[in-house]
Structure 1
Amino acid sequence: MRILAGPKNHHFVPQYYFRLFTGGQRHICAYLTQHKCVIPRAPIKGQCARHKFYGSAEIENHFSLLEGLHASALQTLVKAAENDNIHEFTWEHFPWLLQAIVFQRARTMLEVEKTFPVLEGMMLKMFKEHLLHTLSPEDIEEYVGPIERGEVRIFEDPTATVLRQISVALESASLLVDLQPRLIRNHSDYPFVFSDSPVVFYNLYYQYITDRGVLGLQTPGLMIFYPLTPRLQLLMIDPAVYTGSIANGPFCDIVDRSDVSHLNALQMHHSNSAIYFAHMGDAEYVEELYKAHAPQITKPQAEFRVCQNLLVNGEPFDEEIMHTFEPQLNHMLSLSFLDCKPVMPEEFSFRHRSPEIVEEHDRLHPPGLEVDE
């Protein structure tokens, strides 16, 4: 098979997604968060792209084929909302929608930067333990000491990191099949915006659980936010724990500016370096909203912890366990159309939303140890 050379700039947010916001136009407005400035007509072809980010033309061409399927699912969802007919979006589209979500989340520069330090911590910890068990006592300080003092670093090509993340994500998309899609239709005079890492995971149900991860694909209460146009946003929710008008049907119409700004704030807290919006007339709103949230914005960063006294597969486990997770965004989400009764830390117990889905996934993709704190 002949592989086309393809573009050398590989996009981690695809151009078709930008055009959902611009109505097919080739330019978009961008707010650069590090420079605190607005670019009125940023060329879409130059946004969210890195030189040979995926390594080879063959991989980029393969991803382009996937993007075509993902674009069709998202475009059909947009048309269904515009025509007030959810039946235009069929179950044939649903698997591609789930794959589009996990693919987009895994492929960004923010995801690379948030996850690799955790991988480095794990590898250094494992290497240290290997040295402690193989070196003679007189050699331990010479070789282990620099690790303990933070003098040893491990580096990985970002291409290797992102391709590993994408592989795991695509393998795991089916774990989201029990979430229900809701389309939030924005009738306010504020637009939806999106960031250079537009798929945002959040969990109001477990908002008070801070000592472990609550953003896993099968975690109860998981919410997934994905802006689609200035007037439409996809929300995937766990129907077992969330109530309010969001639970009444596939479409949720909102008019409250506060709701729109809370959803836009998620994008700002989850951004790496840019916020995008369709019309220059909204620049002042975007700038002011970012300035209001800037003091509380903490760049997302996964955490690596070495824990003891855990339950593994439901049984006490006395040895150390390496535990990694992504904390929630530093934004207390409040939406008029959605409510839940949060779980208090003393009430928390580990469980999956749908054990049968996890069982089927694990049958096809055998996992490692399951850890319950």
Structure 2
Amino acid sequence: MAQQKKHITKNQHFVPQFFQRFFSYENNGKTIGMFNTKLNIFKNQVPISSQLSSVYLYDLDGNLENWLSQHEADSAPIFREMWEKEKLPTTQSKDHSKMLHFMVVLDLRNPIHFKILNNLEQKLPNTKSKISEGNVSTDDMVSKLKEYQTYQGKLKSLQSAQLLVSDLLDLKYKLIKNTTSNPFIISDNPIVLYNQFLEKRNWTIGSQRDFGLKGLQLFLPLNDSYMLAVYDPNIYKLGTKKQQVVAIDDKNSIDQLNLLQFLNSESTVNFSHRASKHYINTLYERSKKYKKANDPSINVYKMNVPKEYYNLTAQMIEMGASDLNIKLSVQKLNFISKSSTIKLKSLNDQYRKNVKFKGYTYIVYKFTPIDEKS
């Protein structure tokens, strides 16, 4: 008996179609509004099947794509209930973990991550050393970055995303209910990681968007009226203590949250029928005043080495990407008073307690014998 041929999806979505349907035109579940920021093209309706996807983005054999499809099927009911019933998962429940897992995977599966890795791979060989003449020895790092971009590397990365969930269970989460006439929008990179705390401190050591950082905030629009906000409760408060749903009637706050979608995107924002061409163009023009996120960078710092290692010098090579910094100010989202007493003196001070994994900044320590320096 002939073996049945395995179906492999060619057009692989990096923002799930179920999620895009939450923003569909007049809730038809088939089309969505689109604005291309690079071509300056606005369309009221385009097929969801054609949006936020790429040919064989994840694999050629269907294994990772099938894993993602099952992951999406498990997650979809949780997110639909948020905006349909204003219902959030119970803290520390299975659905709480599933919610966080979906958010981590949504972040890590985005093509922007693969682009960052590729750009870092290209930049590394030309990176100048701070402790010796010439370039940093980067062969081992380049090979590692290449590995992360393979189909097998993507599979390994996304399937291990569950490990990051434990680092996020200490964060609080609420719904923001948009009661203004300006609708929430999404983009080709819809989950926004922000950090008002480190932004206010002018913190420049590493990324401000690592999953384990103090002051972390995650904003994920759910449809044109609701947004999921996940945040560090030791730094911020959102609404009152008892509120799970926080209504915002300030248009400027909504516009700022939408502005983050433009700045976090690669080339596309999407929206429901409630977003006019004028509104989208206004946000687009406003976004030009700020630096976009996800611009790859490599920094090299000379380090102090203990005297007993007299024959060594050391450098720290930091690989990361630009942060979102717009001096965000959102109605009913405020710093708690004790956050002002937190001291930041070192790299470790920026992380929340018991954090195991860091999400965005790759830090490599290089030790070089003095007699090998040029």
Which of 290, 299, 323 is 1:328 aligned to? 323
Q: Which amino acid aligns with 1:290?
A: Y
Consecutive unaligned residues of structure 1, counting only runs of 5 or more, are: 133-139, 148-153, 363-367
Aligned match of 2:371 = none
Question: 1:258 aligns to what?
Answer: 252
Task: Tell me which moved more, 177-186 or 15-24.
Answer: 15-24
Instruction: Please say if 1:230 is aligned against 2:230.
Output: no
Please name the residue that 1:136 is paired with: none
1:76 aligns with 2:76: no
2:289 maps to which of 275, 295, 299: 295
- Opposite residue 166 of structure 1, the aligned amino acid is L
- What's 1:216 paired with? 210
Alignment of 1:116-195 (within 5 A): 116-122=118-124, 124=125, 158-160=149-151, 162-163=154-155, 165-195=157-187
Letter in 1 for 2:55: H
What is the TM-score normalised by the length of structure 2? 0.78
Cα gap change, 1:245 to 1:90, in 2 (>3 Å): same
Match of residue 54 from structure 2? 50
Paired with 2:31 and 2:21, the residues of 1 have a C-alpha distance of 9
Of all paired residues, the percent bearing the same amino acid is 22
User: How many residue pairs were aligned?
Assistant: 338
User: Could you tell me how far apart the structure 2 residues matched to 1:184 and 1:38 are?
Assistant: 27
**221-230 or 105-114: bigger deviation:** 105-114
Task: State the 1:370 CA deviation.
Answer: 9.4
Measure how far apart 1:322 and its partner are.
1.7
* In the alignment, structure 1 residue 93 sits paired with structure 2 residue 88: no
Moved more, 109-118 or 98-107: 109-118
> Which of 101, 107, 110 does residue 108 from structure 1 map onto?
110
Secondary structure class of the residue paired with 1:93: helix
Which runs of at least 4 in structure 1 moved beyond 6 Å after TM superposition? 87-90, 154-157, 341-346, 368-371
Where 1:320 maps in the other structure, the secondary structure is strand
Give the Cα–Cα distance (whole angstroms) in 2 for the partners of residues 87 and 96 of structure 1: 9
Distance in structure 2 (CA, Å) of the matches to 1:311 and 1:245: 47
* Deviation by residue 1:11-60 (Cα, 9 ceiling, x = unmatched): 11110000112235200000110111211211000111111111121221
Whole-Å separation in 1 of the counterparts to 2:222 and 2:97 = 17
Q: Which residue of the partner structure matches residue 137 of structure 1? A: none
- CA separation of 1:213/1:45 partners in 2, compared to 1, >3 Å: closer, same or farther? same
SS at match of 1:172: helix
**Letter in structure 2 aligned against 1:326:** A
Higher helix share: 1
1:79 Cα offset (Å): 3.3
Q: Name which of structure 1's ranges 206-215 and 91-100 shifts more when overlaid on structure 2.
A: 206-215
What TM-score do the two structures reach when normalised by structure 1?
Answer: 0.79
Q: Which residue of 2 is the match for residue 150 of structure 1?
A: none
Q: Is residue 2:287 matched to residue 1:285?
A: no
- Distance in 2 (CA, whole Å) between partners of 1:297 and 1:172 is 28
Change in CA separation of 1:370 and 1:339 when aligned onto 2, cut-off 3 Å: farther
Question: Secondary structure at 1:339's aligned position in 2?
Answer: strand
**Pairwise CA RMSD:** 3.6
In structure 2, list runs of 5 or more residues that go unmatched: 139-144, 307-311, 366-374
* Alpha-carbon separation, structure 2, partners of 1:348 and 1:68: 44
Name the SS of the counterpart of 1:351 in structure 2: helix
What displacement does 1:167 show?
Answer: 4.2
Instruction: State the partner residue of 2:368.
Output: none
Cα separation, 2, equivalents of 1:370 and 1:179: 28
Contact 2:238 2:246 (C-alpha < 8 Å) held by counterparts: no
Aligned to 1:305: 299
Structure 1 stretch 43-52 or stretch 241-250: which is displaced more? 241-250
Distance across 2 between alignment mates of 1:353 and 1:172: 14
